[in-house]
Structure 1
């Protein structure tokens, strides 16, 4: 009996190795980080049937591109996104869960996993992390008669120091952020998380209208007379620029300020953020970016495996410590302990994690953001009293939770 040509062809095809399946990755930035490039090469050597197809997209377009492709039914396997968007993506059924084991969760600093969790499910893998600290200009402290080696440790001290500096030097004591921009929300949340407050709880209840958050909003407003003129015109980086120019005495900022200060002649210090009356310990807003795994790519399971590989402790630590991005480490380790000793400005940025809190997850993050900015601006400009503004904002947030 003769074997048909078709049967021979099918048998030959079956004997061939399966075609490689790409894992597409929309990568935010200007270039692929060298540490990630090396890690990808190592992955592909071990997983030759699962090559990584990286598309580097600028920060301004990166997340929008991933969202547009997913909504059109042609999703990337994986994309770099702000963790704040994960809830919205998940409820729109654009991404799949990325469950973590208890061991994986325990490897991170406290509260990091909260930035990617809702309904007790993880929806992304953290890949970048930032925290904030207090920076102060020691020369301006001296000019105002303040001890340059003793920064404020409480809100009350911070307000008093800002007042003294403003009145004695004519230089604004504090750089206040209140522009119509996302980091106005971030800056206000520093105050919330240094007074044991929160915006929304794990069950999705809006908790904004509380004594702890009211005190934060009152504290923010109290800084207006001792801040740069017209704070609604300034976002975080613009306030930092004023500080770097020696024209404001104190700011709340991340590691980027330390890197830039090293290039100036300013005599400066860094400490954990001053604490409110209800604080339990050092706090800060914990901002992460994550790798989200999109539904419908056909390679979801392998993409999850790769996402966990590229953010695994050894690779992630090298990316954070040796890279140029200036990222706060996601996990504690002996190498991080050494970093804190070798580069002392990292200590307050790491210490603030203990009682920090995540960017709140909402179904419409931009809606949440707009409500919060309007609340802050109404108080900063004197158009509303803090309690009235807080109650109004809490009611409006019910539409976005």
Structure 2
């Protein structure tokens, strides 16, 4: 018997925000849930073209708000009335698969090779893919050039290593009174993400290629020790802040540096003198790294139209359609398609978000992802507040998350 207690959170009453025309009596329905406020720009045309090429099938789309869309798709599947295709965080794929709710998503070697390095890893385990990436984000370092200048630092030279990051942040705090670095430590997912920034910029891993937990490694210990060290040059009370709550502090020049995604480029105040650079590298780094986070289209089991749902997902995310989606949504491109070079030439601030991909790493996939995330956040918080030593808590957390894989 399947255990759905970890997947179901109570079915919410959700309204149909947008939908395609109802199918005729002769058509088979391929139902689809997309997260957001409205159907993604371009999707109406993409779907109409797919329907034209697949006579006898009609796509019915439902747009559900970000806070409920994944929950709704999961609950419908758990209740035995699955949606055919749904937008899901890739972190959920292993859990959905282990509960028999989704089907493998076949990819040819050519399809896999079309993506930037490690992207396919975000949807892969046990030698199979369980979704197709549809949205992608990476992280980079934002810095306030005026605060650098006020502290006597070169405003055009951001830190390239962890040592430089700490030293520059300390100089800024000592000479200007402004915290040098924005540190996340709230009970929130991006506290774990912040730690993974340190892990992936120091050649670390949480899960290796064979599926083994390798959290308790020298690289990851250095990452956790550095997290603790940065408390001295960060804003007061990091446990009160998650990533997006640091952006206003950066905008108000109340913190000199933050690590954030590409969307923040469009949220920085017009009068702020800022730059964006690669995440600083740790002592064991083999090259610039970053955290690779994807959302995916997952095909649910039991609808009778799984083959068509896979076809639709591949069509929506083919190189041309996917790049259009990325440009209109301000997302990091999933593939090095020709338009990327033009995009970077027009806006060089995109470059750091792409250059860190080669040595980046994914959100690890766990059967009980929420428990894994909670353990990682607890680990970071214990180090930030000084209740546990990095080596001890890293070892105990590595043992704890074994039961969640």
TM-score, length of structure 2 as denominator length = 0.93
* SS state at 1:290 partner: strand
CA deviations 1:133-158 (Å, max 9, x no partner) are 00000000001000000000000000
Find the aligned partners of 2:209 and 2:58 in 1 and give their Cα distance.
Answer: 38
Q: CA RMSD in A?
A: 1.0
- How far residue 61 of structure 1 moved from its aligned partner, in angstroms, is 0.4
Q: 2:322 aligns with which of 297, 312, 316?
A: 316
| Structure 1 consecutive aligned stretches of length 4 or more whose deviation exceeds 3 Å | none
1:260 aligns with 2:287: no
- How far residue 51 of structure 1 moved from its aligned partner, in angstroms, is 1.3
1:92 aligns with 2:99: yes
- How far residue 193 of structure 1 moved from its aligned partner, in angstroms, is 0.3
Find the aligned partners of 2:56 and 2:167 in 1 and give their Cα distance.
Answer: 63
Find the aligned partners of 1:265 and 1:155 in 2 and give their Cα distance.
Answer: 28
Find the aligned partners of 2:184 and 2:395 in 1 and give their Cα distance.
Answer: 22
Gaps of at least 5 residues in structure 1 are 1-16
Q: 2:203 aligns with which of 196, 205, 215?
A: 196
Aligned to 1:208: 215
Aligned to 1:379: 383
Aligned to 2:70: 63
- How far residue 344 of structure 1 moved from its aligned partner, in angstroms, is 0.7
Aligned to 2:309: 303
Aligned to 2:184: 177
Find the aligned partners of 2:41 and 2:401 in 1 and give their Cα distance.
Answer: 41
Aligned to 1:114: 121
CA deviations 1:258-307 (Å, max 9, x no partner) are 1112x421100111100000101111000000000000011001100110
Where in structure 2 are the equivalents of 1:218-257 lying within 5 Å?
Answer: 218-257=225-264
Find the aligned partners of 1:18 and 1:372 in 2 and give their Cα distance.
Answer: 50
Aligned to 1:354: 358
Find the aligned partners of 2:219 and 2:368 in 1 and give their Cα distance.
Answer: 24
Aligned to 1:130: 137
Contact 2:35–2:87 at 8 Å: present in 1 too?
yes
Aligned to 2:19: none
1:284 aligns with 2:293: no
Gaps of at least 5 residues in structure 2 are 1-23
CA deviations 1:316-351 (Å, max 9, x no partner) are 011112x0x210000002210111111111000000
Q: How many residues align?
A: 382
Aligned to 1:77: 84
Find the aligned partners of 2:73 and 2:191 in 1 and give their Cα distance.
Answer: 25
CA deviations 1:64-90 (Å, max 9, x no partner) are 101100000000001100000101111
Contact 2:319–2:337 at 8 Å: present in 1 too?
no
- How far residue 18 of structure 1 moved from its aligned partner, in angstroms, is 8.5
Find the aligned partners of 1:244 and 1:53 in 2 and give their Cα distance.
Answer: 42
Contact 1:256–1:326 at 8 Å: present in 2 too?
yes
Find the aligned partners of 1:52 and 1:244 in 2 and give their Cα distance.
Answer: 43
**Relative to structure 2, which stretch is displaced further, 35-44 or 224-233?**
35-44
Contact 1:244–1:264 at 8 Å: present in 2 too?
no
TM-score, length of structure 1 as denominator length = 0.94
Aligned to 1:28: 35
Structure with higher Rg: it is 1
- How far residue 189 of structure 1 moved from its aligned partner, in angstroms, is 0.5
1:332 aligns with 2:336: yes
Aligned to 1:400: 404
Contact 1:282–1:352 at 8 Å: present in 2 too?
yes
CA deviations 1:214-260 (Å, max 9, x no partner) are 00001111010111110001000001111111110001001111111
* SS state at 2:68 partner: helix
Contact 1:165–1:173 at 8 Å: present in 2 too?
yes
* SS state at 1:56 partner: strand
Aligned to 1:6: none
CA deviations 1:16-71 (Å, max 9, x no partner) are x9821111011100100121122112212222321111010001001110110000
CA deviations 1:359-388 (Å, max 9, x no partner) are 000000000000000000000000111101
* SS state at 2:57 partner: coil
Contact 2:33–2:69 at 8 Å: present in 1 too?
yes
